[in-house]
Amino acid sequence: MSTSINLAVIPGDGIGQEVVAQGLKVLTAVLPQDVKLETREYDLGAQRWHRTGETLPDAELEALKHHDAILLGAIGDPSVPSGVLERGLLLKLRFAFDHFINLRPSKLFPNTATPLAGRPDIDFVVVREGTEGPYTGNGGSLRTGTPAEVATEVSVNTAYGVERVVRDAFERAASRPRKKLTLVHKNNVLVYAGHMWKNIFDKVGQEYPQVTTDYLHVDAATIFFVTQPERFDVIVTDNLFGDILTDLAAAVTGGIGLAASGNINPTGAFPSMFEPVHGSAPDIAGTGKADPTATILSVALLLRHLGYEEQAVRIEEAVSADLAERDGTFRSTDAIGDALAARVAG
Amino acid sequence: MSTSINLAVIPGDGIGQEVVAQGLKVLTAVLPQDVKLETREYDLGAQRWHRTGETLPDAELEALKHHDAILLGAIGDPSVPSGVLERGLLLKLRFAFDHFINLRPSKLFPNTATPLAGRPDIDFVVVREGTEGPYTGNGGSLRTGTPAEVATEVSVNTAYGVERVVRDAFERAASRPRKKLTLVHKNNVLVYAGHMWKNIFDKVGQEYPQVTTDYLHVDAATIFFVTQPERFDVIVTDNLFGDILTDLAAAVTGGIGLAASGNINPTGAFPSMFEPVHGSAPDIAGTGKADPTATILSVALLLRHLGYEEQAVRIEEAVSADLAERDGTFRSTDAIGDALAARVAG
Ligand SMILES: CC(C)[C@H](C(=O)O)[C@@H](O)C(=O)O
Ligand SMILES: CC(C)[C@H](C(=O)O)[C@@H](O)C(=O)O
């Protein structure tokens, strides 16, 4: 825990701008007086790309390295071909800064609308691998655009990459009351990657006899997400399965407006990056309808990562209390930010 | 529509035996007197593998070719290493017989327990590609079992394979009242395969101006499956995404005990294979708790494929009526089969 925070801010596209403003509002309100917060905003995303053709130039990638952390809003716009910004900016950052822990807590807060009948008690965290799997850009296409086209996507998995994320997940599971860790993969079909994941999971598990372990195929896991989500405590899984499962997890815990995430490099070699799970939602950008709570909860993860545990908890408790007292009337992006800033300032 | 059916039956493992027996019971009851039903049972699955080390010998693969269709129960047992039977038997059949349409209807029947609040009106069908994607076994591992291991999985996609399944999905959408087709992929990350799917989808779509089209990333699709499943009519997607989505679809429409599927080769070059989406459930095998409805609904798909539309509808209506009149008391596998057989015989 330092006495200053040098934060990079990438508002990005669509509602990214609006929700990041609220995240910063709450961050400012919660920080102790003597902690100096410096922010630098980076103009990256769809507008920049349209203007200059750049997604993430080397100079900016270099500059980003010198921050303590990054707060990101959302990336992506229908005016940009699918994949350009995602791969040229968002994934580029995750890979360049070796964000191998993609941390996505899922909690059903009081008084939030879950689509699930019976409101199960949901409180788990997905530890998604962030630097391997089918996200490495190892694919190609041959005879593109012809009837003889062949397109491949290669999922690359290394023992190095799998062991570090599995170990992190065991540590997290060991520190939680229920101490349960579920590996999700598809090792009956993706046998090479799947068996490697399972073998490493079993091997590392021997060092954590206090942690109960479990394995599920990804298809079966989606069933339990809706029929028995309370069975999960910590889940560890690959990059793509984690992507899919955490959107589903967000949906069952009150929606994507509440789902926070951290792209974490626990070694500290590079800054970690915190962002809501939701996208840029261009359809509601500028209307004041965006819920900034996911970004504000991402700020809590950011604070925890930088050692401000007390402040992180204060934000999480504020969100919980705020949701519990909500009466269903519409509140704008700004109003939610104000309410949470007031609560954490306390 | 022939006047005889020469059916191959692969009961397989666990509850496979029990549910297939009920499927045959209903099939026999629904068929017109003058249709001759011949069945041959194939002893394939875990027991065979333990006894002989074989999963699907060439002679049996050859013999299977000469049937009009295949009815399969379930494959897989914890005593067999994960992947051996799935790849050596189930996937081998899907690939050898070029089952490129993996058809999975999802319907919320009356009086069934969905985990979703508000019981949305769900009635869609997933057309899952069955012979490509990450299911092709194109992967490998290097330095296996060492800390320097690298394991890859290659998703192989061809314009040939994508176009035929996309075309089939457009045909199905065009023949349904709502005429809506959603492509699900992840083309912002899996850009090579994803763009090829999207381009072919757009191109074929021009021939079907009456069909409304839509694209969703797979992560977003899982959200809509639980928040707005009524928005879907026909979905077309790749092998792996289809695997994941159809388990989730089964879960929201009353559970895996009701989800039917067909592995279809529409060209007729090889027999198509019909099976419940659920697995072998060894934990309840032999207890009479297995619900044979998914298998019985798979028999309906089988009949439709062979031209017995009237009989297919009769089974589907019987299931619907049976579920509607269900009073919540336990009924054994056998009792459900008897009830449905009685209804369709009518
Ligand atoms: C935008 C996209 C590249 C990204 C991903 O697939 O990781 C998003 O869905 C997420 O989950 O953060
Ligand atoms: C058993 C397994 C290989 C199979 C698949 O992944 O296709 C199953 O999950 C299914 O959906 O039919």
Domain ranges, ordered by start, for chain A: 1-112+254-346, 114-121+155-253
Judge whether A58 counts as a catalytic residue.
no
Any idea which residue has 């457009």 for tokens?
Answer: B170
**Above 70 in pLDDT, residue A1?**
no
Determine whether the interchain pair B222/A247 forms a contact, defined as Cβ–Cβ distance below 8 Å.
yes
B243 CA → ligand 2 middle, Å: 6
Q: Which two tokens stand for residue A141?
A: 């296409």
Whether the domain at B1-99+257-346 and the domain at B114-139+152-253 fall into the same CATH topology: yes
The CATH fold assigned to B114-139+152-253 is Isopropylmalate Dehydrogenase (3.40.718)
CA dist B325 and B109 (Å) reads: 11
Output the known binding site of B for NAD(+).
279-291
Judge whether A252 and A228 are in contact, CB under 8 Å.
Answer: no
When the pLDDT of each residue in chain B is averaged and rounded to a whole number, the result is 96
- In angstroms, the Cα distances linking A277 to A21, A280, B219 are 17, 10, 11
Instruction: With 0.95 as the threshold, say if the pTM is over it.
Output: yes
Task: Residue B226: name the closest of A122, A34, A168, A273 by CA.
Answer: A122
pLDDT band, residue B122 (cuts 50/70/90): very high
Between A115, A191, A240, which is nearest B83 by CB? A191
Q: What is the pLDDT of residues A334-346, one digit of tens each?
A: 999 999 999 999 6
What pLDDT, on a 0 to 100 scale, did the predictor assign at position B327?
Answer: 85
Determine whether the interchain pair B248/A243 forms a contact, defined as Cβ–Cβ distance below 8 Å.
no
Determine whether the interchain pair A139/B193 forms a contact, defined as Cβ–Cβ distance below 8 Å.
yes
The C-alpha of A208 sits at a distance from chain B's nearest C-alpha, in angstroms, of: 19
When the pLDDT of each residue in chain A is averaged and rounded to a whole number, the result is 96
Q: If you average pLDDT over residues B277-292, what whole number do you get?
A: 95
As for ligand 1, residues whose beta carbon falls within 6 Å of it are A 86, 90-91, 243, 277; B 188-189, 219
Q: What is the pLDDT of residues B221-274, one digit of tens each?
A: 999 999 999 999 999 999 999 999 999 999 999 888 899 999 999 999 999 999
Q: If you average pLDDT over residues B68-93, what whole number do you get?
A: 96
Burial class (CB in 10 A: 0-12, 13-18, 19+), A7: buried
Query: How do B101-107 and B260-264 pair as beta strands?
Result: antiparallel
CATH architecture under which domain A114-121+155-253 falls: 3-Layer(aba) Sandwich (3.40)
What pLDDT, on a 0 to 100 scale, did the predictor assign at position A163?
Answer: 98
Q: Give the best residue of A55, A82, A185, A227 to mutate against chain B (max B CB count within 10 A).
A: A82
- In angstroms, the Cα distances linking B291 to B100, B103, B122, B168, B342 are 27, 20, 21, 30, 17
Other beta carbons within 10 Å of B218: 24
SS3 B122: coil
Determine whether the interchain pair A86/B151 forms a contact, defined as Cβ–Cβ distance below 8 Å.
no
SS3 A334: helix
Judge whether A219 counts as a catalytic residue.
yes
Residue B254 DSSP label: T
pLDDT band, residue A2 (cuts 50/70/90): low
Whether residue A279 is annotated as binding a ligand: the answer is yes
CA dist B288 and B274 (Å) reads: 22
> What is the percent of chain A with per-residue pLDDT over 70, rounded to a whole number?
99
Task: Residue B212: name the closest of B241, B228, B234 by CA.
Answer: B234
What are the φ/ψ torsions at residue B296 (nearest 5 degrees)?
-65, -40
Ligand nearest to the CA of B242: 2
What pLDDT, on a 0 to 100 scale, did the predictor assign at position B228?
Answer: 97
Q: Which residue of B has its CA nearest to A229?
A: B115
Q: If you average pLDDT over residues A104-109, what whole number do you get?
A: 96
Encode A124-139: b = buried (16+ Cβ within 10 Å), e = exposed.
bbbbbbbbbbbbbbeb
Judge whether B219 counts as a catalytic residue.
yes
Q: Give the best residue of A223, A238, A239, A252 to mutate against chain B (max B CB count within 10 A).
A: A223
Q: Enumerate the residues of chain A whose CB falls inside 8 A of the CB of residue B76.
A: 188
DSSP structure string for A40-105: EE---SHHHHHHHS-SS-HHHHHHHTTSSEEEEEE---TTS-TTHHIIIIIHHHHHHTT--EEEEE
Among protein residues, the one with the nearest Cα to ligand 1's atom 7 is A243
B117 CA → ligand 2 middle, Å: 28
CA dist B226 and B230 (Å) reads: 10
pLDDT band, residue B1 (cuts 50/70/90): low
Question: Using a 6 Å cutoff on CB, does residue A219 contact ligand 2?
Answer: yes
- In angstroms, the Cα distances linking A332 to A322, B34, B221 are 14, 69, 27
Task: Residue B219: name the closest of B252, B241, B237 by CA.
Answer: B241
Q: How many residues does chain A have?
A: 346
Determine whether the interchain pair B226/A188 forms a contact, defined as Cβ–Cβ distance below 8 Å.
no
Other beta carbons within 10 Å of B329: 6
Between B116, B155, B255, which is nearest A117 by CB? B116
Q: Which two tokens stand for residue B340?
A: 């449905």
Q: If you average pLDDT over residues A191-202, what whole number do you get?
A: 98
Q: Which two tokens stand for residue A172?
A: 């997290």
Using the atom order of ligand 1, give the atom closest to the CA of residue A86.
Answer: 3
Angle between helices B333-345 and B309-325 (to 10 degrees): 130
What pLDDT, on a 0 to 100 scale, did the predictor assign at position A40?
Answer: 98
Q: If you average pLDDT over residues B158-177, what whole number do you get?
A: 98
What pLDDT, on a 0 to 100 scale, did the predictor assign at position B256?
Answer: 86
Q: If you average pLDDT over residues B189-218, what whole number do you get?
A: 98
Amino acid identity, position A32? P
CATH code of the domain made up of A1-112+254-346: 3.40.718.10
Q: What is the pLDDT of residues B296-314, one digit of tens each?
A: 999 999 999 999 999 999 9
pLDDT band, residue A200 (cuts 50/70/90): very high
pLDDT band, residue B110 (cuts 50/70/90): confident
Residue A221 DSSP label: H
Residue A268, C-beta contacts closer than 8 angstroms, at least 6 positions apart = none
Q: What is the pLDDT of residues A203-249, one digit of tens each?
A: 999 999 999 999 999 999 999 999 999 999 999 999 999 999 999 99
Q: Enumerate the residues of chain A whose CB falls inside 8 A of the CB of residue B157.
A: 150-153
Other beta carbons within 10 Å of B54: 14
Q: Which of 3.40.50.970, 3.40.718.10, 3.20.20.70, 3.20.20.80 would CATH assign to domain B1-99+257-346? A: 3.40.718.10
Q: What is the pLDDT of residues A276-325, one digit of tens each?
A: 999 999 999 999 999 999 999 999 999 999 999 999 999 999 999 999 99
Q: Which two tokens stand for residue B72?
A: 């399969």
- In angstroms, the Cα distances linking A186 to A90, A192, A198, B129 are 26, 10, 10, 17
A192 CA → ligand 1 middle, Å: 24
Between A148, A150, A192, which is nearest B140 by CB? A192
- In angstroms, the Cα distances linking B148 to A163, A199, B10, B151 are 11, 14, 41, 10
Determine whether the interchain pair B247/A220 forms a contact, defined as Cβ–Cβ distance below 8 Å.
yes
Q: The dihedral of CA B269, B277, A245, A100: what is its sign?
A: negative
Ranges of beta strands (E only) in chain A are: 4-12, 36-41, 69-74, 101-107, 123-129, 139-142, 150-158, 180-185, 212-217, 234-237, 260-264, 272-276
CA dist A96 and A200 (Å) reads: 25
Choosing from A68, A247, A334, A338, which is the catalytic residue? A247
CA dist A141 and B158 (Å) reads: 9
> What SS3 string covers B186-239?
CCCCCHHHHHHHHHHHHHHHCCCCCCEEEEEEHHHHHHHHHHCHHHCCEEEECH
User: Does B47 or A257 have the greater pLDDT score?
Assistant: B47
What pLDDT, on a 0 to 100 scale, did the predictor assign at position B18?
Answer: 97
- In angstroms, the Cα distances linking A254 to A120, A223, A242 are 12, 18, 18
Residue A17, C-beta contacts closer than 8 angstroms, at least 6 positions apart = A11, A73, A285
Q: Which two tokens stand for residue B99?
A: 């089952």
